[in-house]
Structure formats: structure tokens, C-alpha cells
Amino acid sequence: MTNLSPATECSLDIGIGGMTCASCVGRVEKALKKVPGVHSAAVNLATESARVTFPAGSDQAAPMEALLRRAVRDAGYEPKEAQAAMDAPDAGPWAGFAPVAWGLALSLPLVLPMLGDALGQHWMLPAFWQFALATPVQLVLGARFYVAGWHALKNRSGNMDLLVSLGTTAGWALSVWLWLSAPDGDMVHLYFEGSALVITLVLLGKWLEARAKRQTTSAIRALHALRPERAHLQRPEGEVDVPVAEVLVGDTLVVKPGERFAVDGVVTEGATQVDESMLTGESLPVAKERDARVTGGSINGEGRVLVRVTQVGAQTMLSQIIRLVEDAQAAKAPIQRLVDQVSAVFVPVVLLLAVATLLGWWLTGHSFELALIRAVAVLVIACPCALGLATPVAIMAGTGVAAKYGILIKDAQALELAHQVTVVAFDKTGTLTVGRPQLTALVPLEAASGAVADSDVPMDPALLQICASLQSGSDHPLAHAVVSRASAQGVGLLPLSDARAVSGRGTEGLVAGARYALGSLRWMQELQAQPASTSPEGAGWAAQARLLEAQGASVSALAHHANGVWALRALLAFADEPKPGAKEAIAQLRALGIRAVMVSGDNWGAARAMARRLGMDARVGSDEVLAEVLPGDKAAKITALKGGSPAQYTVAMVGDGVNDAPALAAADVGMAMANTGGGGADVAMQAAGITLMRGEPRLVAAALDISRRTVAKIRQNLFWAFFYNVAGIPLAAFGYLNPVLAGAAMALSSVSVMANALLLKRWKGP
């Protein structure tokens, strides 16, 4: 799968079969990086895949993929399709257990004499039968270890398979030599049960790992399962079923009750309720009527609707969500670099320790037989499986359960940084507030008798008509509020021409041939606009604006340009409501010891009024409210919140629109509040490291919480992975662990790491 970036790089995902441990990861990465033109390569043991970046170009991808696949094969592994594991049907709980079952069946008769000795019984099998049972396990079931170990040797490196094959072969060969060299009639102690049981235990551990991996990828599998295979296409001759791959933008689809929407679109006919829980984590159905946006993968309710297609293929919201989760699960966390450095030298060091153990016991007067068994135990217990799995399985489990609740973590770096966040900066409009402000007052400056924000009071129709006409071409929430009020009051629109938006200030244009400007009070000051009226009401416009701001309103002004000067005509007051849960979200962050800051382009009065409603410190001089911040200045404010260089604080920025993208990128962790309707949130999603799929402020604390828990699991896993080896190798070298116990401990290390990571699946979001 190829993915073009906005810059000049191309990325390619390749599935890799046959990897067994962290050393395999290092060897595959080294092989991929040797391919000419490769910029970087990151291999993930848990997803059994690699992501490679190289220069973009129209003729680059196809030959590069062939070269990369050949490099993987030459390194001793099997190149596969990156999505093969995800697209395969769900395997049963016992899939792949057959080799383990055969190993257990052949090994148990060899182990029974050990149990008999404990009961005072002599159940030892004749040497020939021990050989007959152990050899198929060693040479048939264990063939995979020989093949992979041989490839490692050819590439002058080592891996888990090499350690297992060397250790078990030594035990098996020693037993054969003791059997064949013993005098006739002598009963000698053989070690067939050790080599057979070690291979069986390793196979059991790998089977448990594979089963756990299927659970960690369940979130991706569930998202893939949301894609319908066929759609009902509306044509002039009637309704036709077609594959979803043949649907084009602009087509009209019929969606019946209970069916999934095949692609993104807009409802053109009908009304229904839509279940978007798999995409957003929101359990309640969402009402959809004419002109409402719908998202592919969501479930239609009780109504039959017609939908005009707006996005298909990789451009749909579902495809973007899947890509975000896949990127996060395929990415390599910064903490993994330490593991890679250790793994690069791990196997050679273990081989040296095994040789030292053999020589140490032998040269101190012990039999070669005993010395070899001690060396075998060292080889078996030191397999670095758990090291390679510790980080990726925790990331997969954490990002998977987060996605279930509508929290999409874009990359492993964002996940690792989020647990360090000490300051969260919120954009106000649309993030902490509903984002649908209403026009509550329109105060003419020629005849004002006092400013009162009351949306129930009829407004001057002539002024309202001018304002609505000027704002009719704008997508700004305040513009929508003006146009909506005019529509509700039955006021029509006048012709608009030469309209232009002035960034961070407002809109200017010709309404019925007269030039007007509507925007912020700061812009009015820059234009040196003054009331045309000399009445006390007109002259006191600044006081009236302050009165409206004190009521918690955002205040704009309308100005008319004539005779070379701008004359103020009216003040407009807008009010928004806090989002449900916003106050609780601030309280949750405070309980976690995290400072919350509100960043707003509103005036100080309106910003402080909203901050008070949210339970924030709204006093003058408070560091929890930043007001009158222009869109272009938000990134600088985020940088300032970090506290200098080097940064004293780790800052997360939460925003929902196009103008928040620079600030999201400037923050240590950007959180975009998306919505399945697309729009400006799509831009914010690309700039942010974490995307919140619904406008729920409490998801911010939840995202930080799952980050903390995931990083904690990574650290726990790495501790146990290192602990098994640091404690196990000396115990094996000094004779406190025989090869069977060493094999069991090695298998247990991998399984315990997987099981610990899977505990994250029990996490519950808001």
C-alpha cells in the first residue's frame, strides 16, 4: 500500500512473515535500509509489517516495492501484502494449534517418567522409544527453527530461532550420542524429553502470542468490517446493485433501513436516525434530514433515504480513520529505540555466555554432559521474544481500545508524549462551546437607548438586511448566526458584490452598491470608524459595547464607507453556550494536576464571562484565559505556554477548525475535535497527533488517561522482558534451571507481556 505525503516522500507498507523476535526486527530493518533510495524503514513485530519511506516519483513505487520484497526474502523472511492479516477472516480460537497438539502428544510420554520418579515408580521408556518420540518433534515440528536460524547465520546475525535450534539440537544430539555409546544393557540418563518439551513449549508460546495478536488487531478488523461490499445505485431506469468500488462522486445511492452507508455523502431525500457509534463512540443515534452529511460505515435507522455521494475510496472518513489507527499501530515509539539497540547485540552476547557456561562447568571438573545441559538452558531462556513484543503490543492494545471510544491516536510519538502533558489549551468556539452562536442584539447607533442582549427582541429589519446580505457569502459561525436571524425574521437579502474576507477581522463588500464592513471592534479601530450620529447614544458606542461584553456577548460592528471615511452604523452581540460536559472536562483535568487554558479570539469581557461559566479562573491577570487572540497568533501563544526554551511545560492544544491547524502543529500534542461531517475538522485532523471523533470535551482527559495507561504498560512490559533475561540467564548458567524450566520461562515471558498489554482492553472511556 503506497501513500503519498504532501512533501516529496512516498511510504510503502509490506507484510513480513517469519519474524519471531526483536533480533528479526533489526535484521529486516537493516536489509530494507540497504536498498538504494530508502530513507527510513520501521519494522513492527506485533503487526508483522514494515513501513518504508523513499523519494516520491511517478516511476518509483512499483520497482521500489519489488526491490524491498526481494530484500525481505533475501534476509530469510516471507514478504506479504500489508493488509493480508487484517483482511483475512477471523480465525477460530484454536487456529494454528495442530503443531502444538502434536508436540504435546509426543512429549508427554517422555515427561511421564519424571512424574513417576516423584511417586516412586519407574516408568522410563526404552532409549529407542524415547528417540522415536523425540525425533519427529525435533526435526519436523522444530524444522521452522532450523530454517529461520540458518537464514540468520547466512546473514551473520542471530535470532530466537537460532538459540532454540542450537540449544535443542545440542540436547537431542547429546542424548543420541549417550544412547549409541553406552555399553549394551546399561541404562543411561537421556535428555530427549528436554529438547522435545522445549520445542513444544516454544510452539505453545508462539501460538498464544498469535492468538493475543489477533485480539490486539480487533479494532482494525472491526473498522474494516464496516465497509459494505455493495451499494444500491439510483439510475433513471431504476435501482441497481453495484460494487462499492464502482461508486463515483455525484452518484445517488439508496440506503434502506438497517443498512450501512457505503460511502460519505449528503442526504437529498428522506429522514432517518443514524448509528455512528463505531466511528465516534457515541452510543445515541443522530438525526439526519435533508442536506445532512452521512458517513460511510454508519448504520441507517428506520428511514429510507437517498444520498448524494461526496467522497469515495481512500477519501472517505472511514478510510481516513482506518489509516490513522493503522499508522499508530505500525509506528515505532521512541522508547523502542533502546530495545532495538539492546536486541542488536543480544543474541551474540547470549551465544558467548552459553560458550562461557559450557567451558566454565567443564573446566571446573564437571562432566561435559552436565556442562552442555547448562549451556543449553542458557540458550533457551535467553530468547528475546518478549523484548520485541513489549512496546508494539501495548501500543496496539491502547490505540485499539481508544479508537473504540472515538479517540484516534495518529502516531506512537503523540501517545508517548500525551502522558507528560501539564497544560491543555482549548480553542473556545466549537471546542468548549457549542459553536453555534446566536445573534442576540443588533443595536443601531443613531437611536440607541441602551444595549440589552435579548434575542427575543425584534431587530431593525433594514440593518439586519444589510448585515445578513454582507455575511451571506461567509462560512464563519457568526455569519451563519446573522443570516439565520434574518431568515427567522423573514428578512430577504440584497445583492452582494466585491465581497472579501479579512483574516481575523471580518467581511467587507458592496451591498446594493454601498460599501460596508462588518467585523471586530479592533478592526473598526484600525479603520478609524466613528458613529455618523453626534447624539449621546452614538458618541457612547464604546460604553455600549462594554455593556454587551459584560453580559458575556461577543461584539462586532457594522460600518458604512462614504466620502472617504467609515461610519459606524450598529453593534451586533453574539452569544454561545458551553458544551455539555465542558465544565466537567475542565474539572477532570484539574483533578489530574493539569492546567487548562482557554484561547479565544473574543473580547476579554466575553471570554471571561464564558470562563466563569466553565469554572475557570476568570479574574484579571489570570493565566487560564487568553482573549483577543487572532488566528495567526494562536501558534505563538502555544509556544509561549511551553515556558521558553528548553520548554518547561508539555502543552496539548485542542481545536476543531482550519485556523487551529498551526496551533495544533505547534503544540507538543495536538488534539483535533473532528466531526463526521468533515469540513475544517479534516485539516485539523491532519495537523493533530490525536483526533477526537466527537465534540465531547471529556474525551480530552480520557485521551490523556489512555496515554498514561499505555505508557505504563510499555514500561511494565519492558521491565518484565529484561527481568526474565537478567534473572534467568544467571540462574540457568549456575545450574538452577534445567532446559525444560528454561523453555517454560521463555514462553511465559512472551505470554505475560502479551497478557499484560491486553489488560488495556478493559479500559472504559466516557
Task: Please give the positions annotated as active site.
Answer: 427
User: What value, to the nearest 5°, has the Cα angle with vertex 110 and ends 109 and 113?
Assistant: 90
- 242 Cβ contact list (under 8 Å, min separation 6): 230, 231, 233
Cα distance between residue 673 and residue 690, in whole Å: 9
- Helix ranges (H only) for 551-666 are 582-591, 604-613, 634-641, 661-666
C-alpha cell at 450: 441602551
Q: What number of H helices and E strands is found in the chain?
A: 27, 28
Q: Give yes or no for a contact between 404 and 765, defined as CB atoms under 8 angstroms apart.
A: yes
Q: Which of 277, 247, 279, 274 is nearest to 263 (CA)?
A: 247
Cα distance between residue 178 and residue 167, in whole Å: 17
How many CB atoms sit inside 10 A of residue 125's CB? 17
Please report, for residues 90, 262, 296, 395, 677, the alpha-carbon distance to residue 225 in angstroms, rounded to integers and kept in the order given. 11, 12, 12, 22, 21
Amino acid letter at 426?
F
Q: Give yes or no for a contact between 639 and 666, defined as CB atoms under 8 angstroms apart.
A: yes
C-alpha cell at 642: 511551553
Kind plus residue range of the DSSP H or E element containing 22: helix 22-33
How many CB atoms sit inside 10 A of residue 122's CB? 8
Which residues does residue 442 pair with via DSSP β-bridges, in sequence order?
A: 572
| Cell 535450534, residue located | 165
Cα distance between residue 678 and residue 318, in whole Å: 11
Length, in residues, of the chain: 766
Amino acid letter at 11?
S
Q: Give yes or no for a contact between 531 and 549, defined as CB atoms under 8 angstroms apart.
A: no
Give the CA-trace dihedral at 159, 161, 163, 169, to 10 degrees.
-160
User: What value, to the nearest 5°, has the Cα angle with vertex 268 and ends 263 and 271?
Assistant: 90
Amino acid letter at 129?
W
Q: Give yes or no for a contact between 198 and 739, defined as CB atoms under 8 angstroms apart.
A: yes
Cα distance between residue 670 and residue 524, in whole Å: 33
- 738 Cβ contact list (under 8 Å, min separation 6): 194, 373, 377
3-class DSSP state for residue 208?
helix
CA 171 to chain centroid, in Å, comes to 46
